Structure 1
Amino acid sequence: MPAGLIALPGVYQPQVDTRLLAQALAQETVTRGTEVLEIGTGTGALALHAACRGARVTAIDVCWRAVATARLNAARRRLPLRVVHGDFATRAAGSRYDLIVANPPYVPAPETRLPSRGPERAWDAGPDGRAVIDRICANVPALLRPGGVLLMVHSGMCGSQETVDRFGAAGLGAEVTSRALVPWGPVLRSRRAWLERQGLATDAEELEELVVIRAQNL
Structure 2
Amino acid sequence: MRLLRAPGVYTPQEDTELLVDAMNAAAIPTGARVLDIGTGTGALALAALRGGASEVTGVDVSRRAVWTARVNAALQRLPLQVRLGNALEVVADEQFDLVLANPPYVPAANPCAASGPARAWDAGLDGRQLLDPLCARMFDLLNPGGVLLMVHSVLCGVDTTLRQLRDNGMKASVVQRRLIPFGPVMRGRIDFLERHGLIDPGQRHEELVVIRGDRPERAQGDGGAERAGSR
Q: TM-score, normalised by structure 2?
A: 0.91
Q: What is the CA–CA distance in structure 1 between the aligned matches of 2:24 and 2:33, rounded to whole Å?
A: 15
- Contact preservation (8 Å) 2:179, 2:205: yes
Once the two structures are TM-superposed, the CA of residue 34 in structure 1 deviates from its matched residue by 0.6
- Contact preservation (8 Å) 2:24, 2:51: no
Tell me the residue number matched to 1:70: 69
Once the two structures are TM-superposed, the CA of residue 32 in structure 1 deviates from its matched residue by 3.6
Say what the alpha-carbon RMSD is for the aligned residues.
Answer: 0.9
Do residues 11 (structure 1) and 9 (structure 2) align?
yes
Q: What is the CA–CA distance in structure 2 between the aligned matches of 1:182 and 1:33, rounded to whole Å?
A: 34
Choose which of 150, 153, 156 in structure 1 pairs with 2:154. 156
Q: After TM superposition, where is structure 1 displaced by more than 6 Å over at least 4 residues in a row? A: none
Instruction: Supply the AA of the counterpart residue of 1:191.
Output: R
User: What are the within-5 Å matches in structure 2 for residues 111-130 of structure 1?
Assistant: 111-116=110-115, 118-130=116-128
User: What are the within-5 Å matches in structure 2 for residues 161-180 of structure 1?
Assistant: 161-180=159-178
Q: What is the CA–CA distance in structure 1 between the aligned matches of 2:113 and 2:85, rounded to whole Å?
A: 15
Q: What is the CA–CA distance in structure 2 between the aligned matches of 1:77 and 1:17, rounded to whole Å?
A: 22
Q: What is the CA–CA distance in structure 2 between the aligned matches of 1:32 and 1:83, rounded to whole Å?
A: 21
Q: What is the CA–CA distance in structure 2 between the aligned matches of 1:177 and 1:32, rounded to whole Å?
A: 22
CA-to-aligned-CA distance 1:14-37 (integer Å, 9 cap, x gap): 100000000001012324421000
Identity %: 52
User: What are the within-5 Å matches in structure 2 for residues 32-43 of structure 1?
Assistant: 32-43=30-41
CA-to-aligned-CA distance 1:178-216 (integer Å, 9 cap, x gap): 110000111111111111111101222011100000000
Q: What is the CA–CA distance in structure 2 between the aligned matches of 1:76 and 1:40, rounded to whole Å?
A: 20
Q: What is the CA–CA distance in structure 2 between the aligned matches of 1:194 and 1:29, rounded to whole Å?
A: 39
Tell me the residue number matched to 2:198: 200
Q: What is the CA–CA distance in structure 2 between the aligned matches of 1:143 and 1:187, rounded to whole Å?
A: 31
From the CA coordinates, give the structure whose radius of gyration is larger.
Answer: 2
Go from structure 1 to structure 2 and tell me whether the alpha carbon gap of 1:49 and 1:94 turns closer, same or farther (over 3 Å shift). same
Tell me the residue number matched to 1:94: 93
Q: What is the CA–CA distance in structure 2 between the aligned matches of 1:128 and 1:156, rounded to whole Å?
A: 11
Q: Structure 1, unaligned stretches of length 5 or more?
A: none
Q: What is the CA–CA distance in structure 1 between the aligned matches of 2:164 and 2:97, rounded to whole Å?
A: 20
Aligned length: 215
Query: SS of 2:26's equivalent?
Result: coil
Query: SS of 1:105's equivalent?
Result: coil
Query: 20-29 vs 122-131, which deviates more?
Result: 20-29
Q: What is the CA–CA distance in structure 2 between the aligned matches of 1:23 and 1:8, rounded to whole Å?
A: 25
Tell me the residue number matched to 2:79: 80
Tell me the residue number matched to 2:142: 144
Query: SS of 1:136's equivalent?
Result: helix
Q: What is the CA–CA distance in structure 2 between the aligned matches of 1:145 and 1:31, rounded to whole Å?
A: 13
Tell me the residue number matched to 2:225: none
Once the two structures are TM-superposed, the CA of residue 89 in structure 1 deviates from its matched residue by 0.7
Once the two structures are TM-superposed, the CA of residue 54 in structure 1 deviates from its matched residue by 3.2
Q: What is the CA–CA distance in structure 2 between the aligned matches of 1:121 and 1:111, rounded to whole Å?
A: 12
Q: What is the CA–CA distance in structure 2 between the aligned matches of 1:94 and 1:42, rounded to whole Å?
A: 22
Query: SS of 1:27's equivalent?
Result: helix
Q: Structure 2, unaligned stretches of length 5 or more?
A: 217-231
Query: SS of 1:203's equivalent?
Result: coil
CA-to-aligned-CA distance 1:47-78 (integer Å, 9 cap, x gap): 00011133110000000000000000000010
Query: SS of 1:212's equivalent?
Result: strand
Q: What is the CA–CA distance in structure 2 between the aligned matches of 1:51 and 1:26, rounded to whole Å?
A: 12
Instruction: Supply the AA of the counterpart residue of 1:104.
Output: P
